Amino acid sequence: MTHPVDLEVGRRIRHRRWMRGMSQQQLAQAIGIRFQQVQKYEAGENRVSASRLWDISLALEAPVGFFFGEEVVSLPSELDREAADLVRHFLAIPATKRRGLLDLALSLGETSC
């Protein structure tokens, strides 16, 4: 029987991987395992050892505590996916150009109200 903590850690791995725009294959390569093992971790079928979780946290650029935090991580809705994509791409823009894009978004939002 799968332990609820293993399920939650797996959900958080999947969520963080998705937020980083990383495939299971890419995560597996980054930590030196096969993508099938990543699938098992994400499904909570296999427990993640402390050392493996450390590797995962480095690959996903998240503190180890993220995988045990109290905030709820749920599968994103389509709107959440679009927002996450927007945030991910926004953060890829050089900081010097972000303000202009933010100003544009604010002005577009004001005209739709």
Q: What are phi and psi of 35, to 5 degrees?
A: -65, -25
In this predicted structure, what is the pLDDT of residue 71? 57
What is the number of other CB atoms lying within 10 angstroms of the CB of residue 28? Answer: 19
Cα–Cα dist 5/87, whole Å: 28
Q: Which residue has the higher pLDDT, 56 or 101?
A: 56
pLDDT of residue 53: 97
Burial classification of residue 47, based on how many CB atoms lie within 10 Å of its CB (0-12 exposed, 13-18 middle, 19 or more buried): middle
- Four-CA torsion 63, 48, 32, 92, nearest 10 degrees: -30
43-96 residue pLDDT tens: 999 999 999 999 999 999 999 999 987 655 555 566 677 777 788 888 888 888
pLDDT confidence of 102, banded at 50, 70, 90? confident
Q: What pLDDT sits at residue 60?
A: 94
